[in-house]
Amino acid sequence: MHAANRFLRAIIWGGALHPLCLIGVRLLTMVSKSRARGLRWVDPAPRGSLLGTLQAWFKLVGGSCLRPWSWSSGPVQTVVNLGDALGLAVHRLRECFRLFMWKGFLGSKRHEVAEVSGEVSQRLVLSADWNSIRDLSFACPAARGVACGALLSPACMDRGGAPFSSSCIWPGCSVSCASFSHIAWNCPHRSNLLIQPQNALDARFGWGSIQSLKWLAEVQKQIWVTRHGDAILRSSH
Ligand SMILES: [Zn+2]
């Protein structure tokens, strides 16, 4: 079954790795340097020119030109302005890329889309602490899977026809066809009775707080134990 999602992975890791983002960063840097050497603003910029290619990049990711040397995908966190320090402009270009990937995820057929879509989700994507999420993901394979959408509940696995029990993962619980919200946030037999966060992306992917990501990683480990036995945890680090 498909689990880790390419859009979610691109949002977390793509700022430094995804070719589309790297091309955008490179173009912006080149335009910035050329501007410092006297490049003039032309509208429309000729196709194939450096400026024209950067304009096309922003259009591709759903952005538009606000005024000379400034582009945005809509929210204020995505306003790229070459009058700012280049580091800030590059950061905001990456936010444009992340928002584009998020829209790609919302347009996919993933079963989580209904619970994480909505106007507020965009703001949450733009406010997530990716450095902390990446740091924990490096250290913990379970957290890495959770953050990329790879946690599949017993109910989800059952629907997909996987040969695993659909019962709740927590010892002492008799619920069958256990959903994600049951095993992560509602089961009274959980090893930690954390309250479900209001932030839907935090509750599903652990993107809003390290506390949630760590907890969902524990849920993921318990899933592995019920499906593969304790030895699975000794083989992961
Ligand atoms: Zn349960």
Q: How far is the CA of 152 from the centre of ligand 1 (A)?
A: 15
Secondary structure of residue 173 in the 3-state scheme:
coil
Q: How far is the CA of 236 from the centre of ligand 1 (A)?
A: 25
**DSSP 8-state class, residue 83:** T
Q: How far is the CA of 186 from the centre of ligand 1 (A)?
A: 7
Out of 125, 149, 175, a domain closes at 125
Q: How far is the CA of 230 from the centre of ligand 1 (A)?
A: 19
Judgement on whether residues 141 and 224 belong to the same structural domain of the protein: yes
Judgement on whether residues 104 and 151 belong to the same structural domain of the protein: no
CA distances from 47 to 43, 219, 224 (A): 11, 51, 52
* Segments in the chain below pLDDT 50: none
Judgement on whether residues 113 and 148 belong to the same structural domain of the protein: no
Angle at the Cα of 40 (from 35 to 44), degrees rounded to 5?
120
Q: Is 236 exposed, middle or buried (0-12, 13-18, 19+ CB in 10 A)?
A: exposed
What are the residue ranges of helices labelled H in 18-85? Answer: 19-36, 50-60
Q: What is the pLDDT of residue 34?
A: 97
Judgement on whether residues 179 and 192 belong to the same structural domain of the protein: yes
Q: What is the pLDDT of residue 162?
A: 78
Judgement on whether residues 39 and 86 belong to the same structural domain of the protein: yes
Instruction: Report whether 146 contacts 205 (CB < 8 A).
Output: yes
Q: What is the pLDDT of residue 38?
A: 95
Q: How far is the CA of 211 from the centre of ligand 1 (A)?
A: 21
Q: What is the pLDDT of residue 232?
A: 67
Judgement on whether residues 91 and 159 belong to the same structural domain of the protein: no
Q: How far is the CA of 179 from the centre of ligand 1 (A)?
A: 9
Q: How far is the CA of 64 from the centre of ligand 1 (A)?
A: 48
The Cα 162–Cα 185 span in angstroms is 23
* Total number of domains constituting the chain: 2
Domain, as residue range, for 225: 129-235
Q: What is the pLDDT of residue 27?
A: 98
Domain-embedded: residue 1: no
Q: Quick one: tokens of 130?
A: 């990716």
Q: How far is the CA of 156 from the centre of ligand 1 (A)?
A: 15
Rg (CA), the chain: 21
Judgement on whether residues 120 and 228 belong to the same structural domain of the protein: no
Q: What is the pLDDT of residue 237?
A: 52
Judgement on whether residues 120 and 149 belong to the same structural domain of the protein: no
Q: How far is the CA of 181 from the centre of ligand 1 (A)?
A: 10
Out of 96, 125, 154, a domain closes at 125
Q: What is the pLDDT of residue 97?
A: 97
- The residues with which 80 forms a beta bridge, in sequence order, are 71
Judgement on whether residues 71 and 25 belong to the same structural domain of the protein: yes
Domain-embedded: residue 214: yes
Beta strands of the chain (E only): which ranges? Answer: 64-67, 70-72, 80-81
Out of 95, 125, 155, a domain closes at 125
Q: How far is the CA of 166 from the centre of ligand 1 (A)?
A: 11
Judgement on whether residues 12 and 120 belong to the same structural domain of the protein: yes
